[in-house]
Structure 1
Amino acid sequence: MATPWRARNGLLETLSDDECDRLRGDLQVVELTQGKTLYAAGMPQTTMYFPRSGVVSMTYNTQNGESTEIAMIGREGMVGTSVLMDSMTTPSSAVVQVGGEALALRADVADREFRKGGHFQFMVVRYMQVLLAQMAQTAVCNRHHSVEKQLCRWLLLCHDRIATDELQVTQETIATRLGVRREAVTEAAGRLQALGLIRCARGRIWIVDRKGLERQSCECYSVVRREYDRLLPPHAGC
Structure 2
Amino acid sequence: MAQDTNNRVLRALPDATRRQAMARMERVTLEGRVMLDRSGEATRTVHFPETAVISTIATYRDGSSIEMANIGREACTGIGLTLGHPRQLSTNEVQIGGEALQIGADAFDSLMDSLPAFRTALFSTVQAIFYQVMVSGACNGAHDSRQRLARWLLTMYDRNDHATMPLTHDFLAEMLGVRRATVSETAAGLQSDGLISYSRGQVTVTDADGLRETSCECYDLVRDAYDTLLPDKSGTS
- Residue number in structure 2 paired with 1:127: 125
* Worse-matched range after superposition: 200-209 or 5-14: 5-14
- Residue number in structure 1 paired with 2:67: 69
Give the superposition deviation at 1:51. 0.9
Secondary structure at the counterpart of residue 114 of structure 2: coil
Q: C-alpha distance in 1, partners of 2:185/2:218? A: 21
- Residue number in structure 2 paired with 1:47: 45
Contact 2:80 2:89 in 1 (8 A): no
Matched, 1:194 2:181: no
- Residue number in structure 2 paired with 1:215: 213
Contact 2:14 2:234 in 1 (8 A): no
- Residue number in structure 2 paired with 1:229: 227
- Residue number in structure 2 paired with 1:89: 87
The percent of aligned pairs where both chains have the same amino acid is: 33
Residues 185-223 of structure 1, C-alpha deviations (whole Å, 9 max, x = no match): 000001111111111111111111111111111121111
Normalising by structure 1, we get a TM-score of 0.92
Normalising by structure 2, we get a TM-score of 0.93
* Worse-matched range after superposition: 46-55 or 83-92: 83-92
Q: How many residues align?
A: 236
Contact 1:198 1:209 in 2 (8 A): yes
- Residue number in structure 2 paired with 1:180: 178
* Worse-matched range after superposition: 112-121 or 36-45: 112-121
> Any residues of structure 2 matched to 1:13-28 within 5 Å, and which?
13-28=11-26
Letter in 1 for 2:126: M
Contact 1:12 1:237 in 2 (8 A): no
Give the superposition deviation at 1:38. 0.8
Contact 1:13 1:237 in 2 (8 A): no
**2:29 pairs with 28, 31, 52, which one?**
31
Residues 17-65 of structure 1, C-alpha deviations (whole Å, 9 max, x = no match): 4323433332112221101111011111021111111111111011111
Residues 86-145 of structure 1, C-alpha deviations (whole Å, 9 max, x = no match): 211233111001101211111122122222352111211111111011101111112232
Give the superposition deviation at 1:13. 2.5
Contact 2:2 2:15 in 1 (8 A): no
> Any residues of structure 2 matched to 1:144-159 within 5 Å, and which?
144-159=142-157
- Residue number in structure 2 paired with 1:114: 112
Q: Which segments of 5 or more consecutive residues in structure 2 lack a partner in the other structure?
A: none
Contact 1:72 1:157 in 2 (8 A): no
- Residue number in structure 1 paired with 2:139: 141
- Residue number in structure 1 paired with 2:55: 57
Give the superposition deviation at 1:162. 0.5
